[in-house]
Amino acid sequence: FTPEGKKKVEKKTLPEILTICMLNAIAPNSAMLLIGGHGGGKTSICKLLGRMVTGKSLREIEASIIRGHPQLTEEKLIGTLKLGELMQGKETVSWRKFVTEFWKIIDEVNRLSPYAQDILLSLLAEGQVKYFDEVQNISKFCLYATINPQDVGTFELSEPFLDRFGISVPISMPTSHDLQIILKGKDEKYSGYDELVQVPQVLTLDGLMEIWYQVDKIDCTTDAINFIHAIIREFTLCMPIDKGNTEELKPGEGLCSGCHFNTKENICNKVSSIIDFDNLSP
């Protein structure tokens, strides 16, 4: 925020964006939003990073992408019944690759209807999806979603769904220097394969899981934990009223009137939604 309380969006350079995307990959069961206009490379970054850190082919990564559309149904999102077995009286689910694959990408997530968002919320919140009487548990995943705010025919993301994304990063168009680097690259392909020559495999999925394990073993010092708690206190909504359950009262709409903390220096009067403590991790 600026001293006047206005939101300030800081543009990130390409190396910074890639670093943040990589940090999202090494955080277990993480989800990240990339926000920007057409041609900024949001989806390409997610696809190429998936190739590099999981060892999956670009074709496999592409097959697991959900393309946002207002008319996406439950069958197109998570699975369908196997027709052959259905004709024999059996209800067996054929799960979509978005559900079964570890590396998940939702392209233009703001084009998903509220109904579709609710379906995916169970995946992010509970680590499972249900179709008919079958339940698919998803214990490990890495999710990236892209948003183009200028798209028409989009939907506002619900607060519970939006709250499951740990970080969002604004993506600007490539600079002239970045374009120069991109144009120097070659679009050569291995014969019979989908891999670009300049996209090497850096890790395997097993290697990434080992990183997850090592990250989980890192202990936070007492000072670090206290610092985290201090940040949470600063961004936590005020004690008298639980703003998370009070849609009518918000900062700037009467809630903070008369409060001695209602000053430019304080943060609590600038918080618009409650922190989801169930989704916090050190």
User: Checking phi first, is residue 43 left (phi over 0); if not, alpha (psi -120 to 50) or beta?
Assistant: alpha
Beta-ladder partners of 93:
81
Residue from 69, 72, 41, 73 nearest 154 by CA: 69
pLDDT of the residue at 263: 79
Q: Classify strands 65-67 and 79-81 as parallel, antiparallel or unpaired.
A: unpaired
Prediction pTM value: 0.73
- Please report the pLDDT score of residue 167 as a whole number: 86
Per-residue confidence of the chain (282 residues) as pLDDT tens digits? Answer: 444 545 444 555 667 788 888 989 988 888 999 998 887 788 888 998 999 999 888 888 998 899 988 888 888 888 888 888 888 878 888 899 999 999 999 999 999 988 889 888 888 888 888 888 888 898 899 999 999 888 777 888 888 888 888 888 888 766 666 666 666 655 545 444 445 555 778 889 999 999 999 988 888 889 988 888 877 776 665 655 554 455 566 666 667 777 777 777 777 777 665 554 444 444
User: String of b and e for 224-236 (b: at least 16 CB within 10 Å)?
Assistant: eeeeeeeeeeeeb
Pull the structure tokens for residue 180. Answer: 């120069």
Report the C-alpha gap between 92 and 136 in whole angstroms.
12
Q: CB under 8 Å to 208, separation ≥6 — which residues?
A: 25, 26, 53, 54
Give the pLDDT of residue 2: 44
Q: Where are the alpha helices (DSSP H) in the chain?
A: 14-26, 42-54, 58-63, 74-77, 83-86, 97-100, 114-126, 159-162, 176-184, 205-217, 222-235
From the list 81, 84, 104, 85, the residue with the least C-alpha distance to 94 is 81
